[in-house]
Structure 1
Amino acid sequence: MSSIPRGIGLYGSEYSTQAQRIGLTSGAVPIAIYGLGKMGLPLASVYAEMSGNVTGVDIDEDVVRMINRGECHIDGEPGLPELVSEQVERGRFEASSDSRKVAKDSSVHVVIVPTLINEEHEADLGALESVCADVGSGLDPGDLVIIECTVPPRTCEEVVMPILERESGLSRGEFGLAFCPERTSSGKALYKLREAHPKIVGGIDDESTRIAEMIYGEITNNDVIPVSDATTAEAVKVFEGLYRDVNIGLANELGRVTDSLGIDTTEAIEAANTQSYCNIHTPGIGVGGHCIPYYPYFFMQQVPEQTPLIQTARDVNDSMPGFAVEKLLDGLSRRHTDIDGAKVLVLGVTYRAGVAETRATPAAPLIEELQGLGADVYATDPLVDVTEFGAASVDLENVTDDDYDAAVLVTAHEQFQNIDWNEFADMIVVDGRQALDLSDTDHYVYTIGVGPGEMREKGRVGQ
């Protein structure tokens, strides 16, 4: 037979791998993607492009309506609006808010919902558990469930599988479960999905791994790497985040001793990185987003062993907004200006340039600490509303209409390059992203990882 019958599950199928592949790419295998956010919508669109039979599920009715009109609610993703419009128009992709109905009609279920942390720094799996209960209610023998959201290792085994078994009445071996870590990033989602990195897949059994490997082999132009099991695949994504957090923590700790050593630490880092075994990251004002600040806690809560290196890196990175405040206070003292009542401008509140995401942004603790010291804090950001952080909003186009005692760059948005700093009266500037060149101004500038303004005159490797 050239293809499996429409609606038949892939797990444990008697049909050949080739027949299953044809069924997958011809639309005979209905696929559901649960979660249509920043990562979920690009994933659903790529799945639709591959298979032609995808239903995306989201609890936000406005999102569902927009997608069914062929509109994209995610900004800043090159190619995504066009891909969504094309797939919807061709009848290959639709959206729904009825997750239980979609689950009954689907054979492959891909879950990509946010995993946050609570006030005790524990992973909050509430969204995942809720979706898995809905998926389980419609699970049939032969179905495959794939988890793409980042979770603590052993979540598939200890959380997801019991829920699916309980809600479906099925047992392990009647359906498949695999983990495939999401390895994309905002602003480059389609490229990252299709090209940039190998896909990692690991199932609760060999059959789950085999099918997941086959599916992602049709999505990516890169390699698909099967690992031993779902827990190993879960650990892969967490380890990636841990590496970056620890590396950034090292860079930030080195950046903090710039003044003591009397050097441009970043110059030394760049020179050190010419050795092939060295890859130190760049110091900065802090780490934000929905990934790196959370993954260390996903890991630490799962293992009984002490992990002091990981905890220390997290503490160092969380301390960087406070370090920026220290340097701002040092600068103000040079001008005999008291922080109490000082006007401070914060440039950027998103965690990364060009991305409208504020989760775990270092701007939040920075603004809170400045206000706690009595400063009048103003902020501007071209992508998001700054008032949610308690700062007074300033229109970027009119940012030079007023004078400030100090400014802190949190986010290196390209729009900030158009600011004419000579329009401001003499002030203290803390550059948290090594993105400003104010050498032709009279402002006192402290750049994290570089030091005070005179350090820039020494130059950099490769500059």
Structure 2
Amino acid sequence: MKLLGLTREEVKKALREGKVTIAVYGLGKMGLPLAAVFADNRAKVIGVDINEKVVEMVNRGENHVKEEPGLSELIKRNVEAGRLKATTDGVWAAKQADVMIILVPTLADDRGNLKLEPVYDVAKKIAKGLEKGDIVITEATMPPGTTESLVPILEESGLKLGEFGLAHAPERTMTGTAIRDITGQYPKIVGASDEKTLEAVIGIYETINKKGVIPMSSIKAAEAVKVFEGVYRDVNIALANELALWCEEHGLDAIEVFTAANTQPYCHLHMPGAGVGGHCIPIYPWFVINLAEKTNPRLIKTAREINDSMPHHMVELTIRGLNEVGRSLKGSNILVLGLTFRGGVREFTKSPAIPIIKELKEWGARVYAYDPLCTSEDAERFGAEWKEDFRDVDAIVIVTDHKEFKSLNLEEIAGQVRSKVIIDGRNAVNPKVAKELGFVYLGVGRV
């Protein structure tokens, strides 16, 4: 059932009656939960992915995104009900669908230059199945202006914009909480090519999101919202890191000062740390920097430099800690705890562990690694040796905030290590307990 021209209430009714077919392009950590949520709200959903194994699993009612709570049940229930299926044929899916949502990965280099080929490839497939009244929505985060660059591709269908609708509704989700985020943790942001499309898209997302929808004045404004969210976090993390470095210089405990300062309602100092990783926060600032022509985003650039420097600071702290026990970094055994960029998520994009391990090895250290979500193969890929104990270790470097690292048995560890040094990049260990057991404890912003 074509939705263009319907009111939001008519759209919601049609979706809940199972009259609308939605094709979700990209069945990864964000796309698969979105597809399952739409199906659970009684839409007919076709998931599209180039990975045949993923498609086969979905069609068997199986979930490949294991770390997403509740997703396995959603997939199984909706596949069995006939509301969710998957295919590798993007053109066929477009011909069946009334709404096409693009949520494929957009990879970026270190300067935020996106490889948009996957998005353009999907747009070409959609164009071959596009019909009058269809709506195309991008959810993948891209530099503002990117969604509208798809118009010439989509118009290869023979239709003009207006005969089909175009919108951007940025995903506002995190791995591990995607279903919660999609269904009502935050309002959905929506920008569209015209009022008819906007009205219909509001209805689409109000069906699944109990927090509702915030309509934007344009597609480009909607794209900027998600980008600015990432920039805000990057800049504020950089502020916290810079103040933490200042605290180190002046013998103050940054965590003590930040905690007290944040009791004032207008102060929201973030937590300093070993570095910023992931697909989002280190990448989105470059969208703003790269698109700037007349302006010079000096603050954003400086924030990137500060956050990118924190892995190097972790190595500096390691050298300082080893020197306090009479050792040099060269020839020491260093155990890096954490390979993933964030606790509880098996994702390595721009993980601070990558440059930390590299620099430690350049100094001549023997580097080991352990991560409860990883394997020895992951450690080897990073250039470290896998180690599941603390025997003969000279320094423990905590890089990721896994819950397991917040409950380390320091008394037991003290009996295994060769040198008692802890470098804490995630405020995981109680400094008082560590020092009472004879450890040299150094952390970002800690005295």
TM class, shorter-length: over 0.9
Deviation at 1:425, TM superposition (A): 3.2
Is contact 2:110-2:283 (8 Å) kept? no
Comparing 335-344 and 359-368, the one that deviates more: 335-344
2:243 matched residue in structure 1: 254
The corresponding residue for 1:293 is: 282
Aligned equivalents of 1:404, 1:34: Cα separation in 2: 47
Looking at structure 1, the residues matched to 435 and 37 of structure 2 have their Cα atoms a distance apart, in angstroms, of 46
Structure-1-length-normalised TM-score: 0.91
Q: 1: distance between equivalents of 2:81 and 2:29?
A: 23
Greater shift after overlay, 212-221 or 267-276?
Answer: 267-276
Distance 1:342 1:394 in 2: 15
Q: 1:435 corresponds to which residue?
A: 428
State yes or no: 1:446 paired with 2:439: no
Give the 5 Å matches for 1:104-253: 104-157=95-148, 159-166=149-156, 168-253=157-242
Residues 1:266 and 2:259 aligned together: no
Identify the residue that residue 369 of structure 2 maps to in structure 1.
379
Distance 1:262 1:290 in 2: 35
Show CA shifts across 1:15-63 (max 9, x none).
x654433222222111100111111111111111113300111111111
Q: In the TM superposition, what is the alpha-carbon distance from 1:223 to its structure 2 partner?
A: 2.2
* 1-structure distance, mates of 2:217, 2:191: 6
Backbone CA RMSD of aligned residues: 1.4
CA distance in 2, matches of 1:292, 1:368: 22
Question: Offset at 1:192?
Answer: 1.0
Paired with 2:110 and 2:232, the residues of 1 have a C-alpha distance of 24
Which secondary structure state, in structure 2, belongs to the residue aligned with residue 257 of structure 1?
helix
What amino acid is the match of 1:444? V
Structure 1 distance, partners of 2:179, 2:289, is: 31
- Please, which of 413, 421, 442 is the counterpart of residue 413 of structure 2? 421
Q: Give the residue type in structure 1 aligned to 2:299.
A: L
Pair 1:79–1:251, CA change in 2 (3 A) = same
Contact between 1:72 and 1:84, CA under 8 Å: does it hold in 2? yes
Q: How many residues align?
A: 436
> Could you say what secondary structure the match of 1:36 adopts?
coil
Q: Which amino acid aligns with 2:383?
A: G
User: In the TM superposition, what whole-angstrom CA distance separates every residue of 1:305-358 from its partner, at most 9, and x where no partner exists?
Assistant: 210100100110010000010111111122221211211100001011111111
Q: What amino acid sits opposite 2:19 in the alignment?
A: A
Q: Mapping of 1:77-116 within 5 angstroms?
A: 77-116=68-107
Give yes or no for the alignment of 1:345 onto 2:341: no
Is the Cα–Cα contact under 8 Å of residues 240 and 269 in structure 2 kept in the other structure? yes
- Distance in 1 (alpha carbons) for counterparts of 2:17 and 2:225: 31
Contact 1:150 1:234 in 2 (8 A): yes
Preserved contact between residue 36 and residue 58 of structure 1 (Cα < 8 Å): yes
Q: Which aligned runs of 4 or more in structure 1 are off by greater than 3 angstroms? A: 16-20
For residues 233 and 248 of structure 2, what CA distance do their matches in structure 1 show? 25
Distance 2:297 2:73 in 1: 45
Q: Given that residues 231 and 300 in structure 2 are in contact (C-alpha distance below 8 angstroms), is that contact kept between their aligned partners in structure 1?
A: yes
- Could you say what secondary structure the match of 1:48 adopts? helix
Within the candidate set 372, 383, 388, 1:390 is matched to 383
Q: Is the 8 A contact 1:116 1:294 kept in 2?
A: no
2:8–2:199 contact (8 Å) kept in structure 1: no
Q: Which residue of 1 aligns with 2:296?
A: 306
The runs of 5 or more residues in structure 2 that have no matched partner are: none
Q: Is the 8 A contact 1:282 1:449 kept in 2?
A: no
Unaligned runs of at least 5 residues, structure 1: 1-7, 452-463
Q: Which position in structure 1 is the counterpart of 2:5? A: 12
For 2:413, the aligned partner's letter is W
1:363 equivalent among 347, 353, 374: 353
Normalising by structure 2, report the TM-score: 0.95
Could you give the per-residue CA deviations for residues 236-295 of structure 1, whole angstroms, max 9, x where no partner exists?
000100100000000011111122211101211111111111111010001111110110
More displaced stretch, 16-25 vs 228-237: 16-25
Q: State the identity as a percent.
A: 45
- The corresponding residue for 1:455 is none
Contact kept? 1:123, 1:297, Cα under 8 Å = no
CA distance in 2: counterparts of 1:189 and 1:121, whole angstroms: 24
1:421–1:441 Cα contact (<8 Å) kept: no
2:19 corresponding residue in structure 1: 28
